[in-house]
Structure 1
Amino acid sequence: MRVSGLSSGMEIDTLVKQMMTAKRAPLDKLNQNKQILEWRRDSYRTMNSALVDFRQNKLDKYKKASEMNIYSAEVSGNKDAISVKATTSANQVPMTVKVDALATQTTLETASLGAGTTASTKLGSLNSGSGPFTFTVLRGSETSPVKQTFEFSKDDTIQDVLKKLNGDSSAGISATFDEAGKKFIIKSKEYGNETVRFEGDLLTDAFGTDPKTATTKGQAASVFINGTEYNPSSNQLTVNGVQITLLKETGPTDLATITTKPDGKKAIETIKSFISDYNSLIATLNSKVSEQRFRSYTPLSAEQKKDMTEDDIKNWEARAKSGLLRNDEILVEGLSSMRTLLSSSSVKFGDKSINLASIGITTGAYTENGKLYLSDETKLMKAIEDNPEQVMELFIGSTDGTRKGIFDNMYDNLNVTLSRMSEKAGTAKYSTDLTISLNEQSTMGKELTDLNSRISTLAKKLTQIENNYYTQFTAMEKAINKLNSQSASLASFTG
């Protein structure tokens, strides 16, 4: 029990508070260090989020070959017969295409199931048989086929059959009911497979159909390209780096002609997006490593905040948080690595070579800290037209995969930066979430654990010291009170 100081006339709470002020200084310092450490980790988390976003959501997209496709293909002549799309491996060889036959699916079509038949008609009311009815899809040789069997009852409707057959992707078929013709139609999903067969009393008894006569076998396509016959199992094939989709058979004279040429529109669009995203990233990182540090603005204690307005607290803490990652080694080296990569990347061919500067991409003034500019778009377009393969290799690497381009190399370099940041601050290498928990086994996580332990130990010690002070003052008050009582008694005898 704490006393008020009535006997001594002293402000004991005030005295204890004053005596504890100096004692609490080490604890206040530890709490300030803890707050700074937490703020620094939050700053790392923000930078980590920006790096992950650039790496996972931007670079991961840009480094795909389709994003840097520098070729386009066009069809002349019979434009209805085919459609085309150039890939990054297009070699610009002109092609004449003659489509003799399209690839087809193995298809079974029943005869009409009778007037009045609907998708709600039960199997037991069709033709003959009381069920159960089976339906089997077979693929492969006659002697050892791969089978998939379905079973239905007489109370199942045609709609039930459709749901069951279409709901099993492993069967590799699609089933439909032609309401106008009252026909049940089954098709294999793959084209050109002659080994697909259908059987079962669902067909013979319920639908009254002989599967052998009602089935049309799937056939491979037949197409002649520059005089050479191709027989793809589907209606799509890639020749000379051009993806060709067969749409319609051609006659002997109405042929289609494919022309491929360099087309920088898609590549330039990708490069512009990369430059914009890269500049945004380095602006964020540069602002953090160059942020001014206000060392006199230390974290506020609860006592200090009592005498301040919300705006004053906000402004103070903004300065206290400023510059916590100034000249941070991880961020500075990450920025340097990206700048070095961009300036050193080049592709040699013969006695020539190309780099970013040679295709119209430059950096700004020294004070802009590596900001990129597409300073000459005409120059970039000309480079794509003259050396399309080399420009593509500069950014996404060689087509054979032996050499990485700028996008892949930067993707790898950023992983190094993110790994270092994760080891130090406990940030997540693959998440942009600013609320995700930090790894407490990281360097800073362990520092924070140690600080919490020291703060807890010191707080307990200070509580004991404070209690001792009150104990001492309590004893003093009791002694004074006793003395006063004795004095009063003596005074009563002498009075």
Structure 2
Amino acid sequence: MRISGLATGMDTEQIIRDMMKAHRIPLEKITQKKQYTEWQMDDYRSVNRNITDLKYKVTDTMGRQSTFMQKTVNISNPNAVGIKGLSAISEFAGTIKVDKLATQASLQGGMLTNVKGSTRLEQLEGYDGEKIIKVRAIDKNGELGEVKELKFSATDTIDSVIKKINSETGVNAFFDEYTGKIAMTAKNSGALKGDVGTPSIVIEGKLGDVLKLTGTHDPDDDNSPKFTAGNNAEFIFNGLKTQRASNTFTINGFEVNLKQVTTDEVTFSSAPDTDKIVESVVKFVDDYNKLIEELNEKIREPKYRNFQPLSDEQKKDMKEKEIELWEEKAMSGTLRNDPTIASLLTNLRQLMSSQVETSNGEFISLKKIGIEPIKDFKENGKLAINEDDLRKAITENPNQVYELFAKSATDTDKGGIAIQFRKTMDGFNAVISEKAGTTGTVSDNFAMGRSLKSMNQQIDRFEDRLKMMEDRYWRQFTAMEKAIQKANAQSANMMNMFGQ
């Protein structure tokens, strides 16, 4: 039981609170250190995330050959033939004459009388409980694919049958209520290999009979199915007469799309798509410069030593705006002069000035394609681009520009700039992760996490000691109050006795 100033009239609670303030100073210092460490850890993780994002972005663009092999293709008749570069290393030129376009096989069923899309199977003429239809169609290799057996219930409708056929087989089907017929088209175009008499869409099962999709075509019977075979595309490419199962195919890393039959030869020629390649390189340099700027800001950010993290008690006496302005300065400079970031910046500057040996034994650098560090030392290693020089290098030798950025690394060769950039960033990520961890990492697995765990334990132990100390003060003051109260009572009794 706590007695507060009943006998002495003292504000015991305020006295003890003031006494405890002095004892709490070491605890506040630990708490401030913990808060600062958390801010520092968050800043490390933020830098690590930004670097990881850029690392993958560079890998997915500047680290891929396709970025530098982009082509523009000039075609004399683009309405008849379309050509675009996919992964071509060399240039592509010649002629093409289209004799026949590839077509898909089709199957037109017989007429179903008084049938709609909502008609149930059990309502069809000839339905006797058979619920299975087997569908087989030409595959991508020009051969009959595996049989797909579909099962239905009596309450399934024409529409639900069509939907399942489309989703699970190699044909696209639809029901035309106007003619009362089901029509199917093979998903893969071209002629069936082997026996030319074999249909490339095969329907089996009694349900197929009911839907009038089976049997032999009779020109005089509108209720008989009609099959039309698919054709291969036939064309003459640079004097070679050849075929493809599809109108879209790839030759030497270029995608060719046949659109129309032609009577004359269509000429075509490719060239590097300089604009797109330049755009990719400029984006890389812009992202790199942004990273350099952010990292330099971090290690040069001012540190305000007079602005320590605020305690809860201190925040109670401050306005929200005052707290915001204070913490803005308190959080500043958490990574000032950080040696890991400073080392990364040095490594990046050296990397961007290095040379790469190409496959023909020549050495090439960013400087040779118009990319150099800005001479103003205040820019701290940012890069500048001379687009005229860059375009010239891409036009003259796009493969060499590709090797500068994306040449693969070997045991004796560090590889291109983008490959080395990825490796440098991987090393930085590992160091920072070991120091500050990542979101969700167990605290015991990284240095700052272990430090924070130790601080939390210190805070808990200190809180326990302070509670014990406060309880002791209360016991002492309570004992004093009781003693004075007892003395006062004895004094009053004596006065009463003398008064008698």
Q: TM-score, normalised by structure 2?
A: 0.85
Alignment of 1:85-164 (within 5 A): 85-113=84-112, 117-123=115-121, 128-138=126-136, 146-152=146-152, 155-164=155-164
Encode CA deviations 1:58-117: one digit per residue, 9 max, x unaligned: 6534544444334211211x4333100023424224211122333333322224445x65
Work out whether residues 236 and 244 of structure 1, in 8 Å CA contact, stay in contact via their aligned partners in 2.
Answer: yes
2:330 counterpart of 1:320: yes
Q: CA separation of 1:275/1:145 partners in 2, compared to 1, >3 Å: closer, same or farther?
A: closer
Work out whether residues 60 and 411 of structure 1, in 8 Å CA contact, stay in contact via their aligned partners in 2.
Answer: no
Equivalenced residue count is 478
- Give the residue type in structure 2 aligned to 1:54: L
2:33 counterpart of 1:33: yes
Alignment of 1:461-472 (within 5 A): 461-472=465-476
Question: 1:190 — aligned with what?
Answer: 188
Work out whether residues 68 and 398 of structure 2, in 8 Å CA contact, stay in contact via their aligned partners in 1.
Answer: no
Encode CA deviations 1:101-155: one digit per residue, 9 max, x unaligned: 33333322224445x65433455565644342532123689xx973211234565
Question: 2:443 — aligned with what?
Answer: 440
- RMSD after superposition: 3.1
Partner Cα separation in structure 1 for residue 254 and residue 423 of structure 2: 30
Query: How much has 1:481 moved relative to structure 2?
Result: 1.9
Partner Cα separation in structure 1 for residue 84 and residue 414 of structure 2: 25
Work out whether residues 425 and 439 of structure 1, in 8 Å CA contact, stay in contact via their aligned partners in 2.
Answer: no
Question: 1:307 — aligned with what?
Answer: 317
Give SS of 1:4's match. Answer: coil
Question: 1:410 — aligned with what?
Answer: 421
Alignment of 1:268-347 (within 5 A): 268-347=278-357
2:207 to 194, 202, 206: 202
2:381 counterpart of 1:370: yes
Work out whether residues 355 and 363 of structure 2, in 8 Å CA contact, stay in contact via their aligned partners in 1.
Answer: no
Q: CA separation of 1:179/1:335 partners in 2, compared to 1, >3 Å: closer, same or farther?
A: farther
Work out whether residues 93 and 260 of structure 1, in 8 Å CA contact, stay in contact via their aligned partners in 2.
Answer: yes
Encode CA deviations 1:310-333: one digit per residue, 9 max, x unaligned: 332222211111111112233333
Work out whether residues 123 and 206 of structure 1, in 8 Å CA contact, stay in contact via their aligned partners in 2.
Answer: no
Question: 2:16 — aligned with what?
Answer: 16
Question: 1:69 — aligned with what?
Answer: 69
2:259 counterpart of 1:247: yes
Query: How much has 1:360 moved relative to structure 2?
Result: 1.1
Partner Cα separation in structure 2 for residue 285 and residue 386 of structure 1: 36
Q: CA separation of 1:182/1:9 partners in 2, compared to 1, >3 Å: closer, same or farther?
A: closer
Partner Cα separation in structure 2 for residue 399 and residue 405 of structure 1: 7
Q: TM-score, normalised by structure 1?
A: 0.86
Work out whether residues 126 and 207 of structure 1, in 8 Å CA contact, stay in contact via their aligned partners in 2.
Answer: no
Give SS of 1:190's match. Answer: coil
Q: CA separation of 1:336/1:214 partners in 2, compared to 1, >3 Å: closer, same or farther?
A: farther
Work out whether residues 97 and 224 of structure 1, in 8 Å CA contact, stay in contact via their aligned partners in 2.
Answer: yes
Query: How much has 1:347 moved relative to structure 2?
Result: 4.3
- Give the residue type in structure 1 aligned to 2:105: T
Partner Cα separation in structure 1 for residue 463 and residue 337 of structure 2: 34
Q: Relative to structure 2, which stretch is displaced further, 60-69 or 475-484? A: 60-69
Query: How much has 1:454 moved relative to structure 2?
Result: 1.3
Identity of aligned residues (%): 36
Question: 1:487 — aligned with what?
Answer: 491
Query: How much has 1:233 moved relative to structure 2?
Result: 3.0
Work out whether residues 120 and 154 of structure 2, in 8 Å CA contact, stay in contact via their aligned partners in 1.
Answer: yes
Large movers: runs of 4+ above 6 Å: none
Give SS of 2:147's match. Answer: strand
Question: 1:431 — aligned with what?
Answer: none
2:267 to 257, 275, 289: 257
- Give the residue type in structure 1 aligned to 2:443: E
- Give the residue type in structure 1 aligned to 2:372: T
- Give the residue type in structure 2 aligned to 1:324: T
The unaligned stretches of length 5 or more in structure 2 are 194-199, 218-224
Question: 1:395 — aligned with what?
Answer: 405
Query: How much has 1:345 moved relative to structure 2?
Result: 4.6
Question: 1:449 — aligned with what?
Answer: 453
